[in-house]
Homo-oligomer: A and B are copies of this chain.
Amino acid sequence: MKSQQKPLAGLRIIDLSRVLAGPFAAMILADLGADVVKIEEPNFGDESRGFPPFKDGFSAYFISINRGKRSVTLNLKEKRGKEILKELVKKADILLENYRPGAMKRLGLDYEVLKEVNPRLIYAACSGFGQNGPLSGNGAYDLIIQAMGGMMSITGDKGGTPTKVGASIADLTAALYTTIGILTALHAREQTGLGQMVDVAMLDCQICILENAIARYVVSNEIPGPVGSRHASVTPFQAFPTKDSYLVIGIGNEKLWERFCRGIKRPDLAKDERFALNAKRNENYEVLNSILEGVFRSRTTEDWIRLMEKDGIPCGPINTVDKILDHPQILAREMIAEIDHGSIGKLKMAGLPIKLSATPGKVDKPAPRLGEHTEEVLVGVLGMTREEVAALRMKKVV
């Protein structure tokens, strides 16, 4: 491996996943250098190719999470399609799928079958509810999992209606855990020489990111509800309206509390017995809140941030997406990737947040057109002739 080669170079992933959770995991692996061969149904491909917004007829949604992959069309319902998949599995390290549990078995392509084809295969399945349990076979979308997994019950205004997280956090969290599972199985394979199955459920992952809500319930027996934009156990730690918009502050310890009181020119608050320690500030939250609301309404967000940043007080604006694309810190971190998609033009998207010093990953290739690499992969990886591929195309196998 040359020192600047990407860290997962040399690994091949057969990616049968569609829409979000699976493709997002495969995208991270592609950014890190793996050869991701995305297998798509020949007529329409990944259904998210049909999801808005569109740019020149191409789904920007699809494009932004399928960059750097190769697309191969393959009809897995055809006998020849199944054979070709098995040939690809022989030449691969990882297979990733996010079908409903049972679907791969019905295709005759489940782990039990494929591990005979390649015992070193890591077979990763990312599903809504997992490979076992009473709801295993149910369909799931992000919204359903956010609801069932408790995230909605703790998000939203205090006393208000349950609120969904604005992004598909249930899909994305499952994608991240699936990626961890794949890399862990890869490490285990270095020791044992054998692959294994990685089974990740979106619902399970939601439970894991409930964080202290479970601890709070277990200890107090009180059911956590939505708490607005406030930290559940640290005060003041929330958003405040300012003269022009909003400001968030996080006063996480006693030193910061003193510095904060001086910073906002209210040293009296630091000496006030009612607010002496975090536990006290929690108790007297309502009183403190109304005092601070008055304070913050007197200046603009930018003014407050300038004032507090020089004292090292954690604070920030509530940025909208347009602000993020031009943000100096985000640009300095090379977190906005811009990829040329040929006739569609350049498209900005989020970059890779894992910065490695010796063998960095990189976002550098566009998302594939449907079946763009069918011939390249069947010829290059499986050694077929162009004529054989053409014949498969005629028979609608690819």
Contacts and interface: CB of A to CB of B under 8 A. Distances in A.
Q: Which of A152, A217, A218, A226 has the most CB of B within 10 A?
A: A218
B184 A333 contact: no
A167 B249 CA distance: 17
Contacts of A336: 207
Contacts of A109: none
Q: Which of A180, A225, A228 has the most CB of B within 10 A?
A: A180
A252 to B, nearest CB: 6
Interface string A346-390: 011111011111110100000000000000000000000000000
A96 interface: no
A253 B53 CA distance: 16
Given A143-B248, A214-B325, A166 B227 contact: yes
A100 to B, nearest CB: 9
A353 B204 contact: yes
Interface in A303-335: 309, 312-325, 327-330, 332-333, 335
A223 B144 CA distance: 26
> Chain A interface: which size bin?
35 or more
Given A1-B191, A168-B211, A223-B320, A358 B196 contact: yes
B177 A187 contact: no
Contact of A356 (B149, B197, B314): B197
Nearest to A115: B357
A83 B347 CA distance: 50
The oligomer's copy count stands at 2
Contacts of A53: 212, 215-216, 219-220, 233
Contacts of A218: 60, 325, 347-349
Interface in A140-168: 140-157, 160-168
Given A148-B317, A184-B32, A250-B144, A358 B194 contact: yes
B356 A185 contact: yes
A179 to B, nearest CB: 5
Given A61-B212, A166-B226, A208-B353, A180 B181 contact: no
A302 to B, nearest CB: 13
Interface stretch (A72-80, A126-134, A267-275, A292-300): A126-134
Nearest to A54: B219
A355 B239 contact: no
B196 A356 contact: yes
Contacts of A155: 155, 163-167
B192 A229 contact: no
Contacts of A145: 316
B238 A143 contact: yes
B187 A176 contact: no
A252 B237 CA distance: 37
A327 B181 CA distance: 24
A47 to B, nearest CB: 7
Contacts of A165: 151, 155, 165, 169
A22 interface: no
A252 B179 CA distance: 25
B248 A144 contact: yes
A210 to B, nearest CB: 6
A361 B204 CA distance: 15
20 contacts: A8-B187, A53-B216, A55-B219, A64-B214, A111-B357, A139-B313, A143-B237, A148-B317, A149-B319, A153-B318, A163-B229, A164-B238, A168-B211, A185-B359, A192-B358, A192-B359, A199-B356, A208-B335, A208-B350, A214-B324
Shortest 10 CB-CB contacts between residues of A and residues of B: A154-B166, A133-B332, A141-B250, A183-B183, A196-B358, A204-B353, A155-B166, A164-B229, A176-B176, A60-B215
